[in-house]
Structure 1
Amino acid sequence: MKNQLVSIITPSFNSAKSIGATIKSVQIQDYENWEMLIVDDCSTDNTREVVQAYADKDHRIKLIARKWNAGPAVTRNRAISCASGRYIAFLDSDDIWYPEKLTKQIEFMRSNDVAFSYTSYRRVHVDGHQIGFVSVPKHVTYYDVLKTNRIGCLTACYDTEKLGKVYMPNISKRQDLGLWLKILKRIDKAYGIQECLADYYVGISTVSSNKITAAKYQWRVYREVENLPFWRSLYYFTTYAYYAITRRV
């Protein structure tokens, strides 16, 4: 029988207040064949102690403690390198999955022979009120994602049996976008599940500054990661900016 283990990639940094809820959302999954690789990037709070307490009671949870702070790309890649599962899924330390998320996504991938998938999700403020709903298209290509990234990192899952292990580019922001583009160069499409299966938590006070920073790194992905010519980069960046303004994503 083929390995159906799902390796969940979770970077953490000073997430003691939120990571418990994240872990619990994995533990209540009705799909039970998973491992959760939590790589702590030198937190200065008691994140490691919180995670270790869960790991002591559940062997599927594994804490990997980094000795120096390297940022989310290196941290996620460390977890990917340690992963044993056929499927690689991503969940950050302040987000949550719905209980049926893995069951529905893995069954969707298996029954439709899909190498890379994602789902719809909610955007929720840290105080609990809903900000918006991100509805995803049924499929996207490399060129679609260059224009606007509709794949939420907390919903993405890829099949290592079809793709091998694929790693994120080492940039401070938009490393998930870089990974999606890397995968989509190798396959025709990624496929979406329209059902909402996760909650992405944000703080409203930082949205404007985050968008400015995100735009800078979006440009870097075009020029430094994808090595696109200037005018082609400008075309995709203009499209990205339009979507970011009109759709607020």
Structure 2
Amino acid sequence: MSTPLVSIICLCYNHAAFLRAALDSVLAQTYPNLEVLVVDDLSTDASVAIITDYVREHPQIRFIRHTQNQGNCASFNQALALSQGEFVIDFATDDVLHPERVTRQVAAFQQLPASYGVVYTDAELIDEQGVSLGFFYNRAVSGKLSPKPATGDVFAEVLGRYFICPPTMMIRRQVLDELQGYDPALAYEDFDFWVRSSRRWQYHFLDEVLCQRRMHPHSLSRKVYQQGDKQLASTVKVIRKARQLIRTGPEKEALLARIRYEARHAYLTANYPEAAQLLTLLEEEQGMTSVYRILQLLTRQKVPLQFLRRWYHRWKYGRTAA
């Protein structure tokens, strides 16, 4: 089989503690045809010094150093414009790649029709010290995975629920070119990319663990639903985009499920402006029920019921919600 060029775009912001493990995992790939681009988004720790050392030892690495903080979406787009790979990996430098990651995902793409734009996998979750916390998907004795991954036309699925571990994705370049990269107006890229790309392209789940996703207090995923979180405002924007892409009844129901989910979490984390916007969207989509009318009233009055979310997380997960 041919070995198409794969671009690994490494995004760094204050990842000095994890950077060596991340870059070593990129350099340890068994796949023979890679280009590596590293973007530092104005880190204030030792990240730049570490990257400079790696570039000196591995001159094939292309280093883009920012003098202004631009955020993940704009940083990725800048590197994408400079890259040439037929397939692309968006790689945060607090995560770790399995040595066979690129080889296995390229092989999967080569066995799929050209309509497939994304191959994603399972991931091991690790803490700051690299200790295993389990896996993204819970596996029953029967082999059933939770959350259930989806393959093929996943548009309604990505609207209604979370089931993709973002750092596991390999993306066909044509998808990113059609979308003109990520939306730089957003605080995060995942949900928007899933919605826009899955409207036209198919997804494939490769049931292998090919990535370690690091869970730590400073990661974007840990900041979702904190009071004042900018990612919620981006979620509202993505939902407004998604409204324009709906074609079927099941897709409409999936959108309503998403709006209700985000509205509940926005309210229960005291993000009242975003909760109000989401409930207005729900009303416009004729998805209101008596429960959500009560929630709308509570939101307008800013009634603090955050303890309910904390209680629920203690009951379900044995820990307090972030």
State the partner residue of 1:176: 190
Q: Within the alignment, does 1:202 sit opposite 2:204 as a pair?
A: no
State the partner residue of 2:17: 17
Shift of 1:227: 4.6
| 2:62 counterpart SS class | strand
Does the C-alpha gap of structure 1 residues 173 and 35 become closer, same or farther in structure 2, counting only changes over 3 Å? same
Structure 1 distance, partners of 2:218, 2:118, is 33
User: Which segments of 5 or more consecutive residues in structure 2 lack a partner in the other structure?
Assistant: 138-147, 247-251, 265-312
Alignment-mate amino acid for residue 182 of structure 1 = R
Q: Within the alignment, does 1:115 sit opposite 2:117 as a pair?
A: yes
State the partner residue of 1:104: 104
Does the C-alpha gap of structure 1 residues 210 and 22 become closer, same or farther in structure 2, counting only changes over 3 Å? same
Does the C-alpha gap of structure 1 residues 62 and 137 become closer, same or farther in structure 2, counting only changes over 3 Å? same
User: How do 1:1-249 and structure 2 match up within 5 A?
Assistant: 4-113=4-113, 114-135=116-137, 137-139=149-151, 141-161=154-174, 164=177, 166=179, 167-187=181-201, 189-203=202-216, 209-212=223-226, 213=229, 215=232, 217-223=234-240, 225-227=241-243, 233-238=255-260
Question: How many equivalent pairs are there?
Answer: 246
**Runs of 4+ residues over 4 Å off in structure 1:** 204-209, 227-234, 239-242, 245-248
Query: Which has the higher relative contact order, 1 or 2, with Cα contacts under 8 A spaced 6 or more apart?
Result: 1
TM-score after normalising by structure 1: 0.84
Of the structure 1 ranges 155-164 and 227-236, higher mean CA displacement relative to structure 2 is found in 227-236
Does the C-alpha gap of structure 1 residues 241 and 194 become closer, same or farther in structure 2, counting only changes over 3 Å? farther
Contact conserved, 2:11 with 2:38, CA < 8 A, in 1? yes
Structure showing greater Rg: 2
Contact conserved, 2:126 with 2:132, CA < 8 A, in 1? yes
Contact conserved, 2:71 with 2:187, CA < 8 A, in 1? no
TM-score after normalising by structure 2: 0.67
Of the structure 1 ranges 55-64 and 199-208, higher mean CA displacement relative to structure 2 is found in 199-208
Does the C-alpha gap of structure 1 residues 111 and 232 become closer, same or farther in structure 2, counting only changes over 3 Å? closer
Bigger strand fraction: 1
Structure 2 distance, partners of 1:56, 1:165, is 35
Aligned-CA RMSD value: 3.2
Shift of 1:44: 1.8
Shift of 1:239: 5.1
Alignment-mate amino acid for residue 260 of structure 2 = T
Shift of 1:144: 0.6
Shift of 1:153: 2.3
| 1:112 counterpart SS class | coil
Shift of 1:198: 0.5
User: Which segments of 5 or more consecutive residues in structure 1 lack a partner in the other structure?
Assistant: none
Alignment-mate amino acid for residue 73 of structure 1 = C
